[in-house]
Amino acid sequence: MTDNKKNRGLSGITLFLFVLIVLGALWFTNTLDSKESQLSRQKFEKLITSEKVDSVTITQNKNVPTGSVEVQLKNKKNGENEKNYLYVSDVNEIQKYLDKAKIDYEMSDVPRDNWFATTIFPVLLTMAGFFLIFMMMNRQGGGANSKAMSFGKSRARLSTEQDKKITFAQVAGLQEEKEDLEEIVDFLKSPKKYIQVGARIPKGVLLVGPPGTGKTLLAKAVAGEAKVPFFTISGSDFVEMFVGVGASRVRDLFEEAKKNAPCIIFIDEIDAVARSRGTGMGGGHDEREQTLNQLLVEMDGFGVNEGIIVMAATNRVDILDRAILRPGRFDRKVMVGRPDVKGREEILKVHAKGKPLSEEIDLKQIAQTTAGFTGADLENLLNEAAILAAKDERIYLKQDDIKRAFVKVGIGAEKKSHIISEKEKKITAYHEAGHAILFHVLPDVGPVYSVSIIPTGGAGGYTMPLPERDEMYNTKGKMLQDITVSLGGRVAEEEVFDDITTGASQDIKQATGLAKSMVVKFGMSDEIGLVSYDNENDEVFIGRDLAHTSRGYGESVATVIDKEVKRIIDECYARAKQIIEEHEDVLHACAELLLEKEKISREEFEALFHDEPVEA
């Protein structure tokens, strides 16, 4: 409301100045209309000889002898002007004529320059013009936020009391993380009790975790609980193409924070500005490095920033500069991981508020079937389910909406209108049936959630497993089973059609990557032993040294690694082939059911096995 009134006031002042300038210019250039009649020489002489002339005034111009003769009539008629003018090139000649005609006249002095009109007024007019142009540019550029006037200013946003506050009660599934941050809140609320025992208030808290786990939400909750000013800015807002701008913005940010201390500065995605220095790209004059240097000084340099706590979030802590991670800058690192089954249930309850759920929906069961989902994934799952319910003209969510949303979020939207040939549909059915059988038979990778031959994205179909528990570690046995399942589609194609397709390319890529990780990263190969040959410097453009991009082993070791990867793939392929041959009747039955229904559920698939023993 205040901003609107201010803008209206500025608009009125601008309009007034514009009108004033126009009127002044018209007056100064003598362009205002005047009621006068210009006489010809013959008409002038005719008036002089008549007895209608009341008075005659000769006005000299500055450039003598030019001038004008004003003739005023005494008994004017309708249609006649009161004053008439004759402009002459020689005032002396007119004087002689009037003297000869014995007409009395007045003669003015040569006009002198007006000091105000020639000196003061042009200056005032010029200043008013510049002021008008400045105001118009200022309004067009956004007032106080004009880029031209605040290029080196901080772009941080300061939360106010009117902003919607988030508290720890609204953050679900992160119990231990909240307990760590509650101490920060207590520091800000009651700093004296810590200072009197010699404790130093932490200067920085780094929130580390995968995308979507709630790092930014936790920072907002800290600000809401502490009830202190909260500055938010993204790491990319510091970096510009002009050298020195980022450092200037860092200085300005901390200057503003000092005025509002105690307060919190939250830098989201800090890896955009705090990557490791000395990469060889840009040298010491790199704009990003100068910005980081200034940030290091502000957080813990010669200056004192009492009462300012810097919070930052990143999912790439491995590429951050070591200087910013030391105690005294970021004193604490809070790991914000993926929620467990209890945390997922709490998160689902938070996001289910405001969404009418049918009685058949069991949030606990949904939490159990969404292992690996982050808070953002769960919110998206319920949102997609709500969208599907609205499309079906329903005012409540059903379990079927959750299932459809689960497939859409996990695999992709189904393209039911996509036309495929009967041959391709049959190949896809046997391919997915091969995956499904291995998911069901192998003990550590199932059970099957649903099997479909409806195209989704770039895939012709999908087999979705249903992890029933959270796992902290991955075992060698499970990884071998994962590889075996990946090869099930190719095995089924060979067994039935005696030919292979390109449909298993992604499966082969996934299996090869997993096998290579077992050999070079996890030490799960007898030939290689407990030696890690994983090259951590493959990504040279994320802040690592360009000089260390070569692999850390020789050609002989590379040959052994290749042989071990191939051995693992071959063994898993042989196992997959054996299991599918043992359940050949289920393979054909599953493919026929898929061709008939296009999509089958867990219950429909497991019914195909009847009383067959499941391999332990």
Determine if residue 214 is labeled as part of a ligand binding site. yes
Q: Is 332 left (phi over 0), alpha (psi -120 to 50) or beta?
A: beta
507 marked among binding-site residues: yes
Nearest alpha carbon to residue 320 among 276, 285, 350, 360: 276
Instruction: Please tell me whether 211 is known to bind a ligand.
Output: yes
Angle between helices 488-497 and 555-582 in degrees, nearest 10: 60
Q: What are phi and psi of 83, to 5 degrees?
A: -125, 140
Q: From the candidates 384, 432, 493, 564, which is the catalytic residue?
A: 432
Answer yes or no: 360 catalytic.
no
DSSP code per residue over 356-408: -B-TT--HHHHHHH-TT--HHHHHHHHHHHHHHHHHTT-SSB-HHHHHHHHHH
> Which candidate, 208, 423, 218, 406, places its Cα nearest to that of 320?
208
Q: Is 142 annotated as a binding residue?
A: no
What is the strand order of the sheet 53-60 is part of?
A: 37-38, 83-88, 67-73, 53-60, 106-107
- Residue 488's nearest CA partner among 561, 524, 543, 438 is 438
CA–CA distance, 494 with 492 (Å, rounded to integer): 5
Task: Flag whether 588 is marked binding.
Answer: no
Tell whether 215 is in a known binding site.
yes
3-state secondary structure 79-123: CCCCEEEEEECCHHHHHHHHHHCCCCCEECCCCCCCHHHHHHHHH
Coil/strand/helix, residue 191: coil
Flag whether 210 is marked binding.
Answer: yes
* Contact criterion met (CB below 8 Å) for 209 and 336: yes
Angle (nearest 5°) at CA 404 between 400 and 409: 145
Which of 472, 450, 467, 440 minimizes the C-alpha distance to 367?
Answer: 467
Q: How crowded is residue 588: how many other Cβ atoms within 10 Å of its Cβ?
A: 15
**Strand runs (DSSP E) across 292-363, as ranges?**
308-314, 332-335
Contact 220, 267 (CB under 8 A): no
User: CB-side exposure of 584: number of CA atoms within 13 Å?
Assistant: 8
What is the rounded distance in angstroms from the CA atom of residue 238 to the CA atom of residue 236?
Answer: 5
DSSP conformation class of 412: -
Give the 3-state secondary structure percentages of the chain, helix then strand then coil, rounded to 5: 50, 10, 35
* CA distances from residue 434 to 286, 485, 609 in whole angstroms, order as listed: 54, 8, 14
| Helices H / strands E in the chain, number of each | 22, 14
Question: CA-CA-CA-CA torsion for 537, 538, 543, 544, nearest 10 degrees?
Answer: 30
Return the amino acid letter for 227: K
Burial of 444 (0-12, 13-18, 19+ CB in 10 A): middle
| Other Cβ atoms closer than 10 A to 385 | 27
Give the catalytic positions in this structure: 432
Annotation: binding site for ATP: 209-216
Annotation: binding site: 209-216, 431, 435, 507
Annotation: binding site for Zn(2+): 431, 435, 507
